[in-house]
Structure 1
Amino acid sequence: MDEEDGELRNPFPSPPSHYTKYTTHNLALLALYNQRLPDHPNPIQHQILSDQTDVPEWPLTQLEKPRIDWILEEPDAYYDVFGERWFVKDKIPSLAELGGNQLYPEDPCVGAYSLRLPRSSASLSFPQTAVLHSLLAPPPTMSATGPPEWQGHVEWITVLGQNLMAAANDLRPVQARGNLELMMQRQLDLRREETKSLHAKCDVLEAKLKELRASAQLVSNFSSRENPTAADTVMTAASPIPSLDSFTNVQQEDVRKWAEEVG
């Protein structure tokens, strides 16, 4: 039950134990080792760090960062990290490197590289016909010691099939690059279409703004014609306006005179 619980708690494999070596103490020992190394003709780790404690048995140089300049100088550039080897340049091995019979040149500049697949596929038709012809032939006699005829044709078909698959694999990077170029071109076309649409909308908005400005100017001109001028407004404001008290006094006097006349 405990093992099952452990498997459930750890569904992924544990990381490599190499990371446990990157402790503060070990890194300090590495810095001290590199500092004292030029002064010691015999680069033995325990002798150089004899005055230190907890010196590991494994070489401290494993904690060094990979040197890119050293890596690229190697024909097969690789580096080791966490106990695993990683190659800098991924290369697809050719059919000849895998031990097969390669019928086309490795250099794409030699010959028509794009005609490998059509030629290989066209070359399969004749061996298939020859295999059918050899299978329909009468069986060999008892005195025949050589291999049957169909066996050679089958081997040749196998070689052609291997070359066909290898040539297709060699064209995969070219296909991937072509697909990437198409994707980038599509993105560029989309950006251009969006930019063109934005410019069209901006032109429409600019035309509407011009119409609104023209309408506002017409309304302003019409209002200036209908309303009084500023000088008339100033003169009207400067003329004295009788107060309400004067009107009240006049009305009371008239009422008193009218009452006396009537009485």
Structure 2
Amino acid sequence: MADGGQQRALTAAFPPPPPFWKHFTPENIQKLEEIKQEAAKKEDAKPKRKWSPAELRALDVPPELRFLVPPEIPNSGYYSVFGELQSLSTALPSLKDQGIEQLYPSPPATEAGDTSPSRPARPLNHAYYLLKISKSLLLNFLEFVGVLSIAPEQFESKLEDLRNLFINAHHLLNLYRPHQARESLIMMMEEQLDRTREEIRQMDQVKEKVESILERLRLEGLEADAATDSVKKETEKGTGPDEKTVEEARQIWNLLSADDD
């Protein structure tokens, strides 16, 4: 009885959290970190190094901390999510494998050993068949409403038709997932490339600005050196600009003083 209740809880639309969530407390997390640090000291390793699940399970961990150790990542088979088995394979299973009637043709496969480029496989026109399924959904929904108004007890067959149409449309859309993933990756890489180009452009602008400042400082330094050399040469000759100015000022002062007398 308990197993049945647990199974219903796992498959509910909004299942409760698993019972071991109570073990994820700050105290238990701190205890696990202390165990990791002690083990790292014994191994002369970094205290903050990353531990794999296998290494954590090999440690002497108390029972109340076992739930804090993550399990190994599965690499094949199936895994359970809320009571439902999910396949690790990324290949999309066909509707035939799931026991569902397929309402659109499968893309033609090339014959074994036929690698001639002159006979490529014709791609499936997804948009055309999605449009047909959408129109069939509208028509079958109108028929479903009519059945409910006339003979409600005969709704099951029409409801099954609607369900089959929705599954086919969903499966047809899922065939686009690899293409969508490639296009999303291309878009992300293009955005990253644009950001990198913009950063390089800004760096080039800063580089040009710094080079112009350095060139201006260099020219100012050359002008200052030239002026200093000129002053030194004139001073050595005894006709520096300072002495000449002083002499002219002295003569003007003498003239003014003579007029006062």
| TM-score w.r.t. length of structure 2 | 0.49
Structure label with greater radius of gyration: 1
| TM-score w.r.t. length of structure 1 | 0.49
